[in-house]
Amino acid sequence: MPIATAVQRGTIVYVYDENGHLVFTRSVGSGPNDGLKNYTNTTVTVQTSIFVYTIDERGRTLFVIPAGK
């Protein structure tokens, strides 16, 4: 099911489908650059510490790259 929205509350990112059901959550860092970066209908991008993660609509990590300074 496609991702409809992703929201960050504190250090947790909540991802919901088009029916408003929670699909998955992801913990992120508490640093100044950490948190939800972007989302589309198929992926969510978050930063945790020194890494940026791209996660699919099932909560599986697709890519991990070092965060730029």
pLDDT digits (tens, 9 = 90+) for 10-68: 999 999 999 999 999 999 989 999 999 999 999 999 999 899 999 999 999 999 999 88
Domain chopping of the chain, boundaries: 3-66
Q: Which two tokens stand for residue 28?
A: 């992120």
Assign 3 a pLDDT band (cuts: 50, 70, 90): very high
CA dist list (Å): 55 to 1, 19, 49? 14, 20, 16
Within 10 angstroms of residue 55's Cβ, the number of other Cβ atoms is 22
Do 10 and 2 touch, CB atoms closer than 8 A? no
Domain boundaries 3-66, corresponding CATH code: 2.40.10
pLDDT at 68: 80
Which value, to the nearest 10 degrees, does the dihedral of the CA atoms of residues 57, 17, 22, 9 take?
90
pLDDT at 5: 97
- pTM reported for the whole predicted model: 0.91
What is the strand order of the sheet 12-17 is part of? 3-9, 12-17, 22-27
